[in-house]
Structure 1
Amino acid sequence: MMSAIVTRRDNTMLALKDGLYWGMGHTVMLVFVGSVIIISRVTIFSSDIIEVFIGGMLVLFGTARLFKREEPINFKTRHGLPFVVGLIHGLAGSGALVLLVMSQIDDVLLGITYMVIFGIGSIIGMCASTGLLSIPFTPRMRISRVIRSVATVISAVLCISYGAYMVYQHI
């Protein structure tokens, strides 16, 4: 999903900021939902609906990227979309695993500390991945329009394929 956003950036610093906002959204949702789980002692959590939603988003982002390969993002500093993606992503995948662990921790402070540390690691990892992913799309690395176009198509097709697989697995 983030690859469809980041590959439209022509500046690695903006892609790193996308990763920062993605990680922050992920962490905010984890800490919020995890705190509710710790405080209320709710132990039932099913991420199937969220996984289907994220799979659908992957298909939509990949399809949009496939048909708008040459269009750069027309805004320079707006990072709301990566933050929203992070919020949704915080409930699926690794977020679901963290929340499962959270349901087993009795100490509220220990549980919240665990989530914050996990969130900081997520932010660092998401910044690193978006930064690295953006390098082939920076002006200095644009050796060939053909290579850029092929990389974009591959990224979009992988995004669509994985999204469709997620939907299929969780329906």
Structure 2
Amino acid sequence: MIAWVLFGFILGLQHALEPDHIAAVSTISVEKRGIGQIVRHGAVWGMGHALMLGAFGGAVYALELTLSERLASGLEFAVGIMMVLLGARLLYILVRDRIHFHTHRHGGDAHFHAHSHAGDVKNHALSRHAHPHPAGGWKRSLAIGMMHGLAGSAALVALAASTAPSAPLGLAFMLLFAIGSIAGMVIFSTVIAVPLSYTAMTLTWATRGFQALAGVFAIGIGLRTLVETGAVLFG
């Protein structure tokens, strides 16, 4: 029984590293600065994913409802649209803003910052650096994770139903799966946070390259999802 429960956790770890999940979290991560911030947003994505898996998938499993292939494909199709928009937004920001990295001061304290001068004067020395540092963005990370969790519920319900000897154990399996997905995304976020943080301080071109690659990757994954699920929905 312990091995069976651990199986759910391990599957959750693997599930977090599926291409569409990696692409989505990458588009979130490359906009953040600092290892702690990147890991936190990855964890928030994982929590949103887990919440929707537990709420929607658990209800469907416990009530023995049926998710049609068309509904499951429709949810995946919505995720495909989201992925394309995430990637396109990231590329648009790169084109729109002349982002660069430098050190300046806030109240006498030296501070390293990713900064855009879109619309500023041509003389960089005259540009205003006393800008605010707004927090947030976690709601978007949470919403993206919830959308992924909603789309992945159908497969999880089918897996739990085919392996669990009883409904309580099936729900326990789904819970461990969700926890595993959070852990997997935290691990992935930690792995990518180190090079992102390092290049932000040393190689501006590399940081921009990471951002562009994440955007193109997200769009590619989104388009593939749209083609695959569109065949079911509109074929």
TM-score (norm 1): 0.88
Q: Which has the larger radius of gyration?
A: 2
SS in 1 for 2:31: coil
Aligned to 1:57: 82
Deviation at 1:132, TM superposition (A): 1.9
The 3 A distance-change label for structure 1 pair 52 and 38 is closer
The correspondence of residues 55-94 of structure 1 with structure 2, limited to 5 A, is 55-69=80-94, 70=99, 75-93=134-152
Residue 8 of structure 1 deviates from its aligned partner by: 0.6
Q: Deviations over 1:65-97 (max 9, x none)?
A: 01213386964344111111111101224x432
RMSD of the alignment, in Å?
A: 2.1
Q: Greater strand percent: which structure? A: 2
Contact 1:45 1:100 in 2 (8 A): no
Aligned with 2:66 (options 39, 43, 48): 43
Counterpart for residue 55 of structure 2: 32
1:1-171 aligned at under 5 Å gives the runs 1-46=24-69, 47-69=72-94, 70=99, 75-93=134-152, 95-104=153-162, 105=164, 107-138=166-197, 140-142=198-200, 143-171=202-230
Do the aligned partners of 2:199 and 2:207 also contact (CA within 8 Å) in 1?
no
- Secondary structure at the aligned position of 1:10 is classed as coil
Which stretches of structure 1, 4 residues or longer, exceed 4 Å deviation after superposition?
A: 71-74
Give the TM-score normalised by the residue count of structure 2.
0.65
Q: How far does the alpha carbon of each residue in 1:87-125 deviate from its partner, in whole angstroms, 9 at most, with x for none?
A: 1101224x4321112334462321111111111110000
Q: For residues 14-55 of structure 1, what are the alpha-carbon distances to aligned partners after superposition, in whole Å with 9 as ceiling and x for unaligned?
A: 111111111111111111123212322113343211111111
Counterpart code for 1:59: V
For residues 63 and 120 of structure 1, the distance between their equivalents in structure 2, rounded to whole angstroms, comes to 30
Identical positions, percent: 24
Question: What is the aligned residue count?
Answer: 169
Secondary structure class of the residue paired with 2:151: coil
| Structure 2 alignment gaps of length 5 or more | 1-23, 101-113, 116-132, 231-235
One-letter code aligned to 1:82: S
Instruction: Name structure 1 gaps, 5 residues minimum.
Output: none
Q: Give 1:133 deviation, angstroms.
A: 2.2
